[in-house]
Each structure stands twice: as structure tokens, then as C-alpha cells.
Amino acid sequence: MSVQPQIKYLSIFQNFKCIPRRIGIIKITAVCAAEAQWLSGRVRTGKNGYSYKVVRHSGGYYNGKRACAAIGGQIAHTGFADKSTYWSVMTDFYDVEVYIGLTDLNREGTFVWENGVPASRGFTYWGWYEPNNYGGREDCVTVWDDDWNDVPCVSNRYHTLCERAPAS
Ligand code: MFU
Ligand code: CA
């Protein structure tokens, strides 16, 4: 199957808030289930139309990315380029420390967003003395309250903030 029809169905489901119905293609059911999961629970939409949701999981950053994909999103990054979206969204997730899609896994000390854009090119909100690569093993980033901190990528302490682009 080509990619195009799936994108079309996805936007249909977004428009109809994914009213479950049989179309006869298994993929469609999966998209519908992901849509329902995204909409359930606490979702916050920023001024730029990107929406945000926390997934709770163990095992660190890579599990977080998988958990975001499983509910039809991706780890938070693109929408955070917009400072006002960042502030409006994060105030609603103050109770949990979450990974975001920012790492220096490729080159120590150079933090790059999931989409390849270096953090130094835009809005950042590092905590006091962060990033510090504490213990020489902190290549991922979490947000708690609103400060950014580099932390280990493998840890059971943190959950993940997922993001979804505006429905087109
Ligand atoms: C700070 C943070 C580290 C870690 C440590 C316990 O370093 O930068 O990421 O959380 O505290 C002193
Ligand atoms: Ca740190």
C-alpha cells in the first residue's frame, strides 16, 4: 500500500475525532486506536497548534520515544521552538519530570533536537549550571518545573513528553 491513502485516512479521523467504524483495513483500526489514546487524559495544545501529552513508562529515553509513537505522537521537540507554546504547555505538566527530544548523543556538549536543529539556534531554558554532564553520563534532557537538565538516557526515574503536530 502506498503512504498517501494512510495520510488521507488519518486526517479524516482527526476531523471526526476518530469515530470508530469498520472500513475493512486493519491499519485504519490501528490509527483510530492511537487517535483515541492521544485524546484521552491530559492533553495541552499550544498557541502554534502542537499538542502535548505525558506518557508514563520506565527504561529511559528510548522507551519514551517508543511510547510516544504508540499513541500516535513523537517525543516533544518541534513545537518547542515557539517560546510561548513552551510556557503555556509546561505549566500544565509541572508534576512530572519528562524527557524531551533533545540530546548530545552525537557530540558531547552539542545538544541537538530530534529534527536535527541545534538547541543553540533557538529558545533554551537550561537550569542553573546545566547542562553539566554529571558523572560524565548525561546525554539526554528532562524538564522538571520548567528548567532543563541533562540526565542519563537510561533511567527509570523519568517519563516522557510527547508532541503531535496540528491536524492539517
Ligand atoms: C545535578 C544535575 C544532575 C543530577 C544531579 C543529582 O548535578 O545536573 O543531572 O540530577 O544534580 C549536580
Ligand atoms: Ca545535569
Tens-binned pLDDT, residue by residue, of the chain (168 aa): 333 334 444 444 444 445 555 556 555 555 566 677 788 889 999 889 999 999 999 999 999 999 999 998 999 999 888 888 899 888 888 889 999 999 999 999 999 999 999 999 999 999 999 999 999 999 999 999 889 999 999 999 999 999 999 877
> Is 68:78 a contact under the CB 8 Å cutoff?
no
Backbone angles phi, psi at 92, to 5 degrees: -95, 0
Please give the pLDDT value at position 80: 84
* 146 alpha carbon – ligand 1 mean position (Å): 15
Q: Residue 51 and residue 82: Cα distance in Å, rounded?
A: 13
CA pair distance 54, 76, nearest whole angstrom: 10
3 and 81 housed in the same domain: no
Both 11 and 74 in one domain: the answer is: no
Structural domain count, the chain = 2
CA of 44 to the centre of ligand 2 (A): 27
Is 132 touching ligand 1 by the criterion CB < 6 Å?
yes
Q: What is the CATH number of the domain that holds 138?
A: 3.10.100.10
101 and 135 part of one domain? yes
Do residues 85 and 115 both lie within one domain? yes
Whether 18 and 77 map to the same domain: the answer is no
Range of the domain at 106: 47-164
133 alpha carbon – ligand 1 mean position (Å): 8
- Same domain, yes or no: 138 and 111: yes
**Which ligand is nearest to the Cα of residue 97, counting in written order?**
1
Q: In terms of domains, do 52 and 94 share one?
A: yes
Q: Assess whether 1 and 66 both reside in one domain.
A: no
Q: Are residues 56 and 17 in the same domain?
A: no
The model's pTM is 0.81
CB atoms within 10 A of CB 54: 23
Rounded to 10 deg, the angle between the 3-15 and 26-39 helix axes is: 40
Q: Are residues 90 and 136 in the same domain?
A: yes
Considering only CA atoms, which residue is closest to atom 11 of ligand 1? 134
